[in-house]
């Protein structure tokens, strides 16, 4: 069902399988488990020291499993319906300042694969792509004077994202290369791996004087979103650019909106102005 109806990615399938196998190992028959079995299982997870986030993810997998059984007529009830999920504090997304991104882009010029890294970073920061989406780009994605990129994201959902002049110019330097992918690996017939790109990004971060632990492709995606909101973009547009299926996912960036609104009030509210004059 996850493959046929949801188009789930391989890593998602592996995660669901691991979670369900862990549950199946703790009960006599997973599909026949009742609410007491599930409560005991969740209590064991909590007692084993697993983080609330991991516990919640496993409960989510179980909820979807039992809803599937209910819809297929295998069961007549959903034993997860009344279970409470562990409370999870929502971490704010980590992102770089605009000055730090500028330093990263400048440092890419001195990297041994400077053309590739400059183009990759310009596109990541200009579009907010996931690293998997970036590395899957075919060489033909920027054929001619392409102003937009057609991206196939999670669940095979397609979206169009605009490309900045700087990103397009940086990527144009790759046009003369051979191979199927815009960002090829050591074997030109294969795309650069995520691990290989992450390693080069760490090298660029060091050259830029940044802590490599703070820099990753996903941090650049967060930086794109945070900087867009700080400069006036709205959540709905950002949702479309990032390829989020649900705007609730995009709302993790509302901390930026809160900061912007606070500055707006301080700059324009009559009482705030009166306080400044006083």
The catalytic residues are: 130, 154, 218, 221, 244, 253
Say if residue 149 is exposed, middle or buried (CB neighbours under 10 Å; 0-12, 13-18, 19+): buried
CB atoms near residue 136 (< 10 Å): 17
CB 161 within 8 A of CB 150: no
Distance from C-alpha of 54 to C-alpha of 57, rounded to nearest angstrom: 5
In a 3-state reduction of DSSP, which class is residue 181? strand
For the chain, what percentages of helix, strand and coil (3-state, to nearest 5) are there?
60, 5, 35
Which are the contacts of 264, defined by CB distance < 8 A and separation ≥ 6? none
- The number of residues in the chain equals 278
Indicate the Cα dihedral angle 80, 83, 86, 92, nearest 10°: 70
């Amino acid at each position: 069902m996850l493959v046929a109806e949801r188009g789930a990615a391989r890593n998602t399938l592996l995660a669901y399988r691991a979670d369900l196998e862990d549950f199946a190992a703790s009960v006599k028959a997973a599909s026949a488990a009742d609410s007491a079995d599930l409560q005991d299982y969740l209590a064991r997870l909590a007692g084993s020291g697993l983080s609330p986030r991991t516990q919640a993810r496993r409960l989510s997998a179980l909820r979807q499993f039992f809803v599937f059984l209910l819809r297929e007529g295998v069961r007549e009830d959903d034993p997860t319906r009344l279970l409470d999920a562990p409370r999870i504090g929502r971490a704010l997304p980590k992102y770089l300042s605009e000055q730090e991104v500028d330093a990263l882009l400048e440092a890419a010029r001195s990297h041994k694969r400077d053309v590739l890294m400059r183009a990759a970073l310009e596109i990541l920061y200009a579009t907010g792509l996931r690293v998997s989406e970036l590395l899957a780009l075919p060489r033909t994605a920027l054929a001619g004077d392409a102003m937009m990129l057609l991206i196939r994201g999670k669940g095979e959902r397609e979206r169009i994202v605009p490309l900045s002049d700087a990103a397009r110019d940086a990527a144009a330097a790759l046009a003369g290369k051979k191979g199927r992918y815009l960002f090829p690996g050591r074997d030109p017939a294969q795309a650069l791996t995520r691990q290989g790109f992450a390693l080069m990004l760490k090298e660029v971060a060091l050259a830029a004087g940044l802590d490599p632990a703070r820099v990753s492709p996903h941090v650049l995606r967060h930086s794109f979103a945070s900087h867009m909101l700080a400069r006036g973009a709205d959540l709905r547009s950002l949702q479309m650019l990032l390829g989020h299926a649900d705007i609730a996912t995009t709302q993790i960036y509302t901390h930026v909106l809160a900061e912007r609104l606070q500055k707006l009030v301080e700059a324009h509210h009559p009482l705030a102005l009166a306080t400044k004059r006083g």
